[in-house]
Structures are given as C-alpha cells and as structure tokens.
Chain A
Amino acid sequence: MRVELTVNGGLMTVDVEARRTLVDVLRDDLNLTGTHAGCEHGVCGACTVIIEGEVVRACLMFAVQADGARITTVEGLAGDDGTMHPLQEAFCAHSGLQCGFCTPGMLLSALVLLGRERHPSRERIREELSGNLCRCTGYMAIVDAVEAASRGPGDLPVPHQQST
C-alpha cells in the first residue's frame, strides 16, 4: 500500500505491506535507524515517536495507520545546523544515558511531557516517563536531565509538529 508520511518535516512516500509496523518502515524503508525496536510489544518504549503531538509506540502501529501523519523521530530533534535540542543537551550534561539504546524513546516521551507541563516535579517526571524502560542508568540521571531541561530558559519546542 502507498503511504504518505511527513517525517521530521519532509514528505515521504513509501509502498509498504499492510502488516509492516511503523518502526520497521522508519528504520528499513526510510533509513531512520534512530528509532529502536526493543521489545516489539509496546512495553519498553524504545521505539517511541511523536505523531500529531502525541507519544506513539512505533512497534504497535502499522505504517499504513500513519498515512498522512506528521511524525517526529529522534533524528528530527537537532536543528538543521546540527545544534542539539536543549533536551538533548540536558541528557548529555546530566549523564541521562549509558548504552543509548532506550535514549531516543526517552527523549521523545520527555519532550511531549515538557510540552504539556513546563515545570513538572521529579515525581511527575517519573510517573509520566514510566512507560519507557532503561536497563543501564537506574533512572535518576534521566530525571535529573529532564528536570534540568524544564528549568532552562526559553522554549522546549517539539520540532516538526507545527502546521506550516
């Protein structure tokens, strides 16, 4: 089936089998390998992407269901000039990652949270990110990173989700 996706601001058209998941199409057809498949059953959150402002598990959605949708993946967070998003900077500054496999999903889930709640408490951060699993950090450093980003100056935009 022919599917049109607006990924990180660019319109992409792919011809996919109806049963293929969005995570596989992003990775294998669109070469956006930053979205990781960690469990393929919607629990770990590594494959999290943002679709129309919402957090979505790309392993639980067929690519055809995303037809016409605006999608932001981890590759779309940095600026065109490669400048890291403030949230990415905060993860680096606070050691919010170790192996980095869960990190793309963490970033996108946290970004949607910060879009809704500009200054969440540490407890709220833990609650809202509880759908993303990490096996390396023990989580505290991720909470530190998200909290630091929430206290930073300026906006924390969700790139590529605004209407043009």
Chain B
Amino acid sequence: MVAGDRAWVGSSVPRREDSRLLSGRGRFVANTFVPGMGYAAFARSSVARARLVAVDTSQALAHPGVTAVLLASDLATVAPGSLIPTLYAGAPGAPVRLLAGGDVRYVGEPVALVVADDPYAAADGADLVDIEYDPLQPVVDFETAGASTVVVNPERGSNVAATSKHSDPSCDEAMRRADRVVTATVRQQRQANAPMEPRGVVAAWEPGPSLVAYVSTQNPHEVRQVLARAFALPQAAVRVLKGDVGGGFGQKFLLLSEEIAVVAGARLTGRALKWIEARQENLTSATHARADLVTASVALDGQGTMLAMDVDHVEDVGAVPMGGSGGAGASVVTRFTGPYTIPALSWRTTAVHTNTCRRGAYRAPWMMETTAREQLVDEAARQLGMDPLELRRRNVIQSGDQPFRSPGGMVIDGVTLAECLDEAAKVIDYSGFRSRQAELRRADRYQGLGISLFFEPQGSVAAIRAESATVRLDPDGTVSVAVGSGNHGQGLETTIAQVVADQLGLDMEAVRVHDGDTNSTPFGNGTGGSRSGPILTPAAVQAAATLRQRILGIASHHLEAAVEDLRLGRGEVFVLGTPSRSVVFATIGQLASAGAAALPPEVEANLHVTATYRMPGPVFSNACHMSICEVDVDTGTVKLLRYVVTEDCGSIINPRIVEGQISGGVAQGIGGALYEQVVYDEDGNPLTATFVDYTIPGFTEVPSIEYHHVAAAGDPGEPPDPLYKGVGESGAIGAPSCVANAVADALAPFGVGIIDPPITPAAVRVAMDRAQDGRAAPTIS
C-alpha cells in the first residue's frame, strides 16, 4: 500500500471495536466503578399535572443505606438558563428543571433525588419518598392542545411552543388552476428511541473544584459545555469521559436534566454518584419522538406534474422538550417537496406542549416530511388512477435539473434520485410484480408494493458545520487519531482508521482511533445528524494529509532527497526509483520527539496535527426504498416479503458498515410503521412502560434487506477527491412511508387509503371495515 492508494477505503474491513465488545470488555458507563461512590435514584411524579402539596422524605431517609434525599430547593443553585443546550442558547423554550418544585408536569418528572450506598437501597428510598399531589386536569391530546385553556407551562402563557408560516401566492394560484388537488392527512404516532443501553452517568468531583463525569452520550464536548455552565466552572475544569455507548439514536445527543441532577447531587453530598436509568424510566421519561400530524395538499396538472404543495404540520413536543421549542416543524416543512421539481410551497407549523414526556431527537427528527409526502404522493396516484412509480418519474429531480433550488430554500445538488428510483424498480422487478399482484388478487390474496423516495441532507445546521481531528505519529512509528465526536456503534474507530491509513500508506494495525475524552480530543459537535461521514471524516483526512507532508519534510532531511522524489508506503518513506534509500516511520517519530533538537529549524518537528474541517454547505445523500408486503385480509396481519434499498451516500468507506446503518434505520422505521407506539391514557398515564408494551421489532419482524449502492455520474467518490456523505438516518427516513404505502397498495381493492400507524392487525381490520361501508365487494382490476 502506498499513500494515496485506496488500500483500505472501500472495503469491508472488520471492525476494530469488535474484539472488546464481543468478549464482554465493552466500556459502558454502567461498568464504571469509582471507589466510595454512592448510587442515585429518582422519585418521579405519578401524576401528569398537579400542584405539589408536600414531599415527605422522612421514611426514605430512615431507610438503611439511604444517605440523602434532595429536592428542587436543594438544587436551586443550578440556574435553569444554564441548562439549555449550547445550540439553543437564547431560544425560547420551556424552563428545564432538574427536579420539579411547586408543580409536576408529566408522569415521570423527577421530584426527588435519593442517594444511597447501593442501588437497591436507592430504589427503595425513591419508593419511600411520599409525594402529596393536588391533581389537575392534564393536557394529553396534542391535536387539541394548542387551543386548550389548560396551560402546561404557565411561564410560557400558552401551549403553543413555536409556530411558523409561509404563504406563497404562486402556491395559491397553482392550487386554483390545477386540474386536480389531492389532500391527505397523515399521522405519525409517538415513539421511543429505546437504545438497548439506557442513559447513565457517574459523577466524581475533585478538589479545585473540578469534575469528572462519565456519561453515556453522543456528544461529550456538549456535555462538558453544559456542565461547566451549570456549575460555573471553567470548561477546562470539567472532564467528560464517554466510553462505549449502547446506542442513542438522538436521545443522547443533548444532555438531559437527570444527568445534571446527579452531578449536582454528587457535589451536594460530597460523594461520587452513579445513576443508571431503568428501562421503565427510559421508556416513559427519557425522550419521546415523532408525534406529528400533517395535512398536506398537492396540486397536479392533467399529466400528473406536481405544481405546488401546501403543508400544515402540528407536533407534540411534550412538557419540557429537549432543546428550545423541541420542534422539528421548520425542517419538516421546508424539506417537504423533497425529491420532486415542485416550484411552489406554502406551510404552517405548530409545536405544542402537552403534559407528557419531553420530545427529543430521534434518528432524522424531521423525517415526517418523507413519511407524509410519500404517502400523499401515493394517495395522489390512487386518486388520479396513475401508477405511483410513473407519477414519481414524471416529477423527480433529474441530473439536468441540478442544482435545484427548492421552494423551501434548499439548493439540492449532487443527487441521484432518478437513478435510485429506476434501480430500485429494476431490482424489485416492478412490472413483474404488478402482473403477479393482479393474479394474486384474483385468487383473493393481497400483496402491495410501496415506494419511498427521499434525500437526506447533512450539514444543514450551519452552527455545527465543523469537526476536528488530531493525527499524531508516535515515536514507534504508529499513529494515534483523536476525534472530537465519537463512536456509539457506527464503527468510527474503524472507518476513521481506514481513511487515515490510506493517507499515510500504513497498515490498519498501525492506526488507532480514540474518542470520548474531552481532555485529549479536539472539540467536536457530536455524532448525530449523519455528520460523521461528511464532516468528521474530512477532518481526519486533512490532518493526516498535513502529517504526511511533515513526515516527508523530516524524511527529506534525513535521506537528503527532495520531497518530490519521496513516497510513503508500508510504514516507511523511500526514494522513488531507489527503494533501498528509505527511512521507517519509527525513525521519523523518534527524530521528531527525542531527537527534535537535532533537526534544523526549518524542518517542522511537530508531528501532532489537528485539522478542523469547515463544511462549505449542506450535502445530500439520497435513496429509494421499495418493499412488498402481503396483507392477510381476514386477520389484518401485514407480512413484509421483500425490502429493497438503493442508496447514494457518495464515496463508501466501508460497505458493510454503510449497510448496517441502513438496515438498523429500516428496522426502526418498520417498527414505526407496524409495531411501536407510546401510549398515554386520558389522564396522562404512560401505558407503555416495558418492552412487553412498547414492542420494538425483533428477528422475526424485520426482513432481509437487499442493498444496492448507486453512484452519481462523474462520481465525486473516486480519488483524489472523495465525497463522503452521511448515511446514519437514511433507513429511518424511508421505511415508514415505504411500508405504509405497500399496505395501502395491497388494500387498494378495498378502498382503504392511509391508515394511522402503527398499522397493527386491528388497525387494518378497522380501516377495512370503515372503507367497506358503502361498498359491496372489493374492486379487483
């Protein structure tokens, strides 16, 4: 391997992190033990909305092992304004409270923090905190919450957390002139991220004071910033350590109130404290997501050309959402026209508070744009009597349309939407399926094919469009890479090593990637939003490229040869044409460290290079999903038979890791379409507090996925100018509408349109019964 060659990039190199994870040596936060530490547990509200009459801690304090019980008043020194995530500083939002005082606003809101010598005693103590409530009528239904006179957060004066509106006169005009206007109402039910590892923190204060916090997080440097603000410490006095993280999917992107409360508890009790969230807490009071209602219209001419869209979006952000208003509405509506050349768009958004768990980020928080739009497009196809593939083909952004300025203000470029659509149709044998579908219908069997076409922007949040990496040549000739944003299952220890090894012409074994320690990694903005491919990876590439130049500089001096005549490969630098004249990296590493004094001043001896990559603007991955399902019309059961993904995520570093990202997202999307739902009763009690009630898909629910990678013509993915795009959210964006459209397609003969998810057997049967009112028999074409 020679530097600049693609020896590692592009191949499915086995993951570096696997050996420890497979042998039970994962460094998860629950595996952190600090001498003398106590254990924390929260006493939480069992009422959705109430005045707090009294909190009696005496029984808890009398319990053996319990050493302290802290209430809101004890934590008053932590100013609420300091708890707002850095990205949302100054944004209006519900006040973040570490512990409830005066009133409670959702079931699961922390009221008291119990500290004990062991976790069982801490849990006992939490049960023994006696909370007296004066219950009040809660707001639970978000579709009516905006108009309710009952206000969730009195400080805000209204349940409306945020609104936005854009009225485009050309949209109104198009709606008036159109041959056809098709309107659809699309709901998306409340869901939970449900990472397999719940949240957790171990907080240890040291004299100074300084703070060491071990946190299960996607974003260690953000945790550091918030904790420094919360406790009025210089950031340099806060060390955040993130080990292995057992999934987050957005839930661990911003620091939540419980972790901060535990850090405060550790300070107040003078003892290191550990808190590991229980699954019930995670499902009821960590973060929830989705919970959207879209009413959208599309105007079409007689040929099926889409002329305009109008979208109204309402979302539930819960009582105290994660970050600002917590809403994704602005992203949902501005991206709503998605992959189509639609010139006009109007929108309205409303985010509302309810007396429920806070809304947080969940893998593509704005994915309702695809979920609703792609179902609207299928509804339009049904009403027009047009094939849904053909309708998409007539409107999809082609290569010749790019760069395409969308009516939502995005400049869409470098996408292969039409190619992905065609490729998926080919792979799934679209026309063959249509014939088979018709035959099966004559035999009273109902299969359907669903399509979802979309793009996945990265870097759309300008404030965090940068990442840094440090690449260092050590004196033994091996390379350490430190990245500011880290791994929680994405394989970054492997993919970053692949790109760095290729830059330096090294074996993978000689490159190690470190993350998660804010003391030894450069600043990072967190792993989320599919940022690692397009923003973090180029930082590592740039740092490695600069390091390569410095290695060449030292080698040039050492070998007395011009830099232009030198090449890197196999861990050494050699003279082109005279490979016997060479110097190994270890010698260069030693020359730069112990021997640096002997190098002449004009030779750069610093082999510790940090690069910050500033992404110039958003990039767009894109994909098409197609699935085939069969619906048992007697029982309402949906079975997925095939699932095809055609994806363009630019240059691929490690195909199997890319496929794993797609597959995991698709599984979550299938969960959203068919199985998962957070349920509250009318009093605001969560009814889905365990994995028995909140049913994430398992081995028998997720089909095998057929992946096909599509590359743009003149693919920027080839060296020397690779473009790494993100792929973390893609699967979760496409799957819900793809599956919903397949079900609707299967049930088309029964006149069943869009079904509110999750599309359970009962939901299918109810929808069929409703559709059958007024219909004698299914129409079979």
B-contacting residues of A (Cβ < 8 Å)? 17, 19-20, 24, 27, 32-41, 43-44, 46, 73-75, 77-78, 84, 88, 91-93, 95, 97-104, 107, 125-127, 129-130, 132-143
Contact = CB atoms under 8 A, between A and B. Distances in A.
B663 A141 contact: yes
Contact of A37 (B25, B30, B247, B692): B30
Given A93-B14, A136-B489, A35 B24 contact: yes
B468 interface: no
B700 interface: yes
Contacts of B19: 84, 92
Contacts of B665: 138
Interface in B174-205: 194-198
Given A19-B120, A141-B663, A100 B17 contact: yes
Given A100-B246, A135-B664, A137-B663, 8 more contacts: A36-B197, A40-B278, A41-B691, A100-B26, A101-B195, A104-B24, A130-B698, A135-B667
Given A20-B120, A39-B279, A140 B24 contact: no
A134 B697 CA distance: 9
Q: Which 7 pairs, one residue from A and one from B, show the smallest C-beta to C-beta distance?
A: A34-B24, A100-B21, A101-B246, A138-B663, A99-B489, A138-B667, A74-B24
22 contacts: A32-B24, A33-B30, A34-B26, A38-B279, A43-B691, A73-B24, A95-B15, A95-B660, A99-B197, A99-B247, A100-B17, A100-B26, A100-B244, A100-B246, A100-B489, A101-B244, A130-B700, A133-B196, A135-B696, A138-B664, A138-B705, A140-B663
A130 B246 contact: no
B698 A75 contact: no
Given A20-B120, A84-B19, A134-B196, A101 B657 contact: no
A103 B22 contact: yes
A100 to B, nearest CB: 3
Nearest to B703: A140
B194 A135 contact: yes
A136 B24 contact: no
A95 B279 contact: no
B203 to A, nearest CB: 19
A63 to B, nearest CB: 12
B123 to A, nearest CB: 11
B700 to A, nearest CB: 5
Interface string B432-468: 0000000000000000000000000000000000000
Contacts of B245: 99
A129 B702 CA distance: 13
Contact of A92 (B22, B120, B489, B702): B22
Contacts of A142: 699
B702 A36 contact: no
B519 interface: no
Interface of B: 12, 14-15, 17-19, 21-26, 28, 30-31, 119-120, 194-198, 244-247, 249, 276, 278-279, 488-491, 656-657, 659-660, 663-668, 690-692, 696, 698-700, 702, 704-705, 731
Contact of B18 (A35, A43, A97): A97
Nearest to A105: B196
B181 to A, nearest CB: 38
B246 A36 contact: yes
Nearest to A44: B691
Contact of B23 (A19, A24, A88, A129): A88
Given A41-B690, A92-B15, A129-B699, A78 B23 contact: yes
Contacts of A101: 26, 28, 195-197, 244, 246-247
B269 to A, nearest CB: 20
B700 A141 contact: no
A138 B197 CA distance: 16
A87 B201 CA distance: 32
Nearest to A46: B196
Given A74-B23, A98-B491, A100-B22, A135 B704 contact: no
A74 B14 CA distance: 20
A99 B698 CA distance: 16
Contacts of B663: 137-141
Contacts of A141: 656, 659-660, 663
A99 B700 contact: no
A74 B26 CA distance: 11
A99 B279 contact: no
A135 B21 contact: no
A130 B698 CA distance: 6
B279 A41 contact: yes
A139 B30 contact: no
A75 B120 CA distance: 25
Contacts of B18: 91-92, 97, 100
A44 B196 contact: yes
B691 A39 contact: yes
Nearest to A93: B14
Contacts of B22: 74, 84, 88, 91-92, 97, 100, 103, 107
A40 B276 CA distance: 12
A61 to B, nearest CB: 16
Contacts of B705: 138, 140
Given A40-B278, A95-B657, A138 B489 contact: no
A43 B24 contact: no
A13 to B, nearest CB: 20
B196 A140 contact: no
B656 A98 contact: no
Contacts of B249: 135
Nearest to A92: B18
B664 A136 contact: yes
A127 B196 contact: no
Nearest to B283: A39
Contacts of A139: 663, 667, 698-699, 702
Contacts of B30: 27, 33, 36-37
Residue of A17, A99, A137, A142 most packed against chain B (CB within 10 A)? A99
B588 to A, nearest CB: 32
B14 A133 contact: no
Contacts of A32: 24
A7 to B, nearest CB: 12
A141 B667 CA distance: 12
A43 B700 CA distance: 15
A24 to B, nearest CB: 8
A88 B198 CA distance: 24
Residue of A32, A103, A129 most packed against chain B (CB within 10 A)? A103
A21 to B, nearest CB: 10
Residue of B21, B25, B120 most packed against chain A (CB within 10 A)? B21
Residue of B12, B120, B660, B692 most packed against chain A (CB within 10 A)? B660
Given A41-B691, A41-B692, A138-B705, A98 B664 contact: yes
